[in-house]
Structures are given as structure tokens and as C-alpha cells.
């Protein structure tokens, strides 16, 4: 890359880079991600990848969409993985672009395991997960010394779209002062009820951060007791994170984005 004075790894033909695109703002791409995108022959990208990011692809790069669109079912994970194998065998420089970080609720591991099995060389380029970048863009610190010494990321959604059965609500309520739910919007009612039942206070602050780091970002501040009703009467559209914990209170003073 001309204007980045550091040595980048060679993106060899017939290899796959599994790259995190960050939560949306193209400025949050890593240098390595940008370099990979600029040099890929084929980019297989997901629904949550910011559109502007694809503008960095080289002119003749093929852009293949592998996400859910217009209510149609998303391609099966196995089909996507097969496609990566075919493209790599075809001696392309293949870049698999995923929203946020590929290893955070992103099924990146499944793709890598298959590539490993097929003896296809791959590289993993981490991205800024929405679970971190989204909070920063809402003015919510992940930790402060006064509020929390731990953070937990949880998926609100299993393969069949339900709240996972193996969530230990009591352990979460007791053990993690800050809870960050991915894919939880559809089940916010259940999530809030479970946590209240397990002893979290009704008045505990909750932030719903939608389309974080994009020009359409919206943040709703509520409480555990009211958040489900507040979401229902809002026009918030996923993707969204649900952030539960005292750290949410900081957004009042630290919401730099709305004050820009
Ligand atoms: N690998 C991704 C997460 C994929 S799971 C990452 O590291 O960020 C998809 C979920 O991520 C969404 O349902 C939502 O909870 C969250 N998410 C992804 N991008 C988001 C964004 N821009 N704003 C808010 N939430 C986002």
C-alpha cells in the first residue's frame, strides 16, 4: 500500500483472509483489513458490512453478497464455506468480510475450521466488534473503576432464533455487573424479565444502541423495567445491542456523537 509506511503480509493467490469490517464506520477498519480489501480478487461479504467499505475494493474485484436480504433466507453457512473453498482452489485472493469481529458471534471459527481441514491457507484479521465500538460511539465506557470489573457478551439468539437455553440467568445477574446482548432486540422482553427475576433492579439503566457507528445510529436510554415497552413504542431498527449496567449512565455526559 503506497501511503502506509509499514510492511504488510503478502496476500497470496489461493488463500483466504477472514476479515472483521468493524461495526459500520469505515474509519474503524484496521490497516490490515483495508490492505486486504484493496488487494482481494473476490470479497464475500455479510449483511452487516458497511456499504462504503466495499468502495475500497479494487476495480475488477468480484463482490459476492452472502447475507440475508429482503426477507429471503440467508445462504446456508455450509454454502458460504463451500464457496470460499472453491474460490481459493480457483487461485483467487479471497477475502471473507464480516461485520464487527469475525470471532465474536460471527461464525468465523466454523469457516476457518473448514479451511484448515481443506489445507487452505488463511489469515484472521480481527475487527472492532460492535460490542466495543458501539458503546464508544454511544459515549458508554466498557469499564470504569467505580462501576464494573467485568463485562459479559451474550447472544440473545440461537440457531433457531430463540433465546439460547443454556443461558444461566442467575449467574449472569449475580456475576456480571455489565451485560451486553447481541441479537437480543426480538427478545428484549424475555431478557429483561429473566434478569429482574434473578434480582437485577427494575431501575437499572439500559441502553439500546442501533446501527452503531453509522450515520443512522440511534441510542435509547431506558431501565430494565421499561426497556421492552420503550423499544416496542420506538422506531428502532436492528442491528442493535442491549447494554445493561451502571456504565450506561455515562452516556448522558459522554455522548460526544450527538453533540458533534
Ligand atoms: N461479529 C459481529 C456480531 C455479529 S452478530 C461483531 O463483532 O460485532 C450480529 C449482532 O451484532 C446484531 O444483532 C447486533 O446485536 C450486533 N451488531 C452488529 N453490528 C451492529 C451495529 N452497527 N450496531 C448495533 N449492533 C450491531
Query: Does 25 participate in catalysis according to the annotation?
Result: no
Exposure of 128 in the CB half-sphere (CA atoms within 13 A) = 20
What confidence tier does 223 reach under pLDDT thresholds 50, 70, 90?
very high
Counting atoms of ligand 1 from 1, which one is nearest the CA of 24? 22
Ligand 1 first shell, C-beta below 6 A: 23-24, 48, 98-101, 104-106, 129-131, 134, 182-183, 209-214, 238-241
**Averaged pLDDT for residues 141-145:** 97
Query: Does 183 participate in catalysis according to the annotation?
Result: yes
CA dihedral angle for residue 52, residue 55, residue 56, residue 60, rounded to 10 degrees? 160
Going by alpha carbons, the residue nearest to atom 18 of ligand 1 is 130
What confidence tier does 86 reach under pLDDT thresholds 50, 70, 90?
very high
Residue 1 in this model has a pLDDT that exceeds 60: no
Cell of 114: 473448514
Per-residue pLDDT, 130:
98
Which tens digits make up the pLDDT trace of 12-32? 999 999 999 999 999 999 999
Going by alpha carbons, the residue nearest to atom 9 of ligand 1 is 183
Higher per-residue pLDDT: 85 or 69 = 85
Per-residue pLDDT, 260:
74
Find out whether 161 and 186 touch, Cβ atoms under 8 Å.
Answer: yes
Alpha-carbon span 11 to 8, nearest angstrom: 9
Query: Does 68 participate in catalysis according to the annotation?
Result: yes
CA dihedral angle for residue 237, residue 128, residue 126, residue 87, rounded to 10 degrees? 30
* CA 105–ligand 1 middle distance (angstroms): 8
What is residue 165's three-state secondary structure?
coil
Selecting among 68, 91, 203, 216, the annotated active-site residue is 68
For 70-95, the DSSP string reads: TTBPPPPHHHHHHHHHHHHHTT--EE
Query: Any idea what DSSP says for residue 8?
Result: P
- Tell me how far CA of residue 53 lies from CA of 34, 49, 160, 177, in angstroms: 9, 7, 30, 35
- Tell me how far CA of residue 99 lies from CA of 81, 139, 166, in angstroms: 16, 21, 25
Selecting among 46, 92, 101, 185, the annotated active-site residue is 46
Per-residue pLDDT, 50:
81
Which tens digits make up the pLDDT trace of 53-80? 999 999 999 999 997 665 566 778 889 9
Q: What is the pTM of this model?
A: 0.95
What confidence tier does 6 reach under pLDDT thresholds 50, 70, 90?
confident
Cell of 19: 476479515
Going by alpha carbons, the residue nearest to atom 25 of ligand 1 is 240
Going by alpha carbons, the residue nearest to atom 24 of ligand 1 is 240
Which tens digits make up the pLDDT trace of 192-218? 999 999 999 999 999 999 999 999 999
* CA 199–ligand 1 middle distance (angstroms): 27
Which tens digits make up the pLDDT trace of 95-136? 999 999 999 998 999 999 999 999 999 999 999 999 999 999
Residue 88 in this model has a pLDDT that exceeds 90: yes
Amino acid at each position: 500500500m503506497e501511503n502506509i509506511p509499514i510492511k504488510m503480509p503478502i496476500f497470496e493467490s489461493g488463500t483466504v483472509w477472514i476479515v472483521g469490517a468493524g461495526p459500520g464506520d469505515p474509519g474503524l477498519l484496521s490497516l490490515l483489513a483495508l490492505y486486504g480489501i484493496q488487494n482481494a480478487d473476490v470479497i464475500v461479504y455479510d449483511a452487516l458490512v458497511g456499504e462504503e467499505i466495499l468502495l475500497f475494493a479494487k476495480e475488477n474485484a468480484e463482490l459476492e453478497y452472502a447475507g440475508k436480504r429482503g426477507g429471503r433466507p440467508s445462504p446456508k453457512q455450509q454454502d458460504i464455506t463451500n464457496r470460499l473453498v472453491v474460490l481459493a482452489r480457483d487461485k483467487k485472493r479471497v477475502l471473507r468480510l464480516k461485520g464487527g469481529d469475525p470471532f465474536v458471534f460471527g461464525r468465523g471459527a466454523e469457516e476457518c475450521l473448514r479451511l484448515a481441514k481443506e489445507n487452505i491457507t488463511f489469515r484472521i484479521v480481527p475487527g472492532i466488534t460492535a460490542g466495543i465500538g458501539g458503546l464508544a460511539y454511544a459515549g458508554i465506557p466498557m469499564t470504569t473503576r467505580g462501576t464494573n470489573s467485568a463485562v459479559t457478551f451474550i447472544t440473545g439468539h440461537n440457531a433457531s432464533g430463540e433465546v439460547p437455553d443454556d443461558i444461566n440467568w442467575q449467574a449472569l445477574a449475580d456475576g456480571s455487573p455489565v451485560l451486553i446482548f447481541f441479537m437480543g432486540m426480538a427478545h428484549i422482553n424475555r431478557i429483561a424479565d429473566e434478569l429482574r427475576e434473578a434480582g437485577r433492579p427494575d431501575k437499572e439503566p439500559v441502553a439500546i444502541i442501533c446501527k452503531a457507528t453509522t450515520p443512522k445510529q440511534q441510542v435509547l436510554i431506558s431501565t430494565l423495567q421499561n426497556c421492552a415497552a420503550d423499544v416496542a413504542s420506538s422506531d428502532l431498527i436492528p442491528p442493535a445491542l442491549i447494554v445493561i449496567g451502571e456504565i450506561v449512565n455515562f452516556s448522558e455526559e459522554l455522548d460526544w456523537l450527538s453533540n458533534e
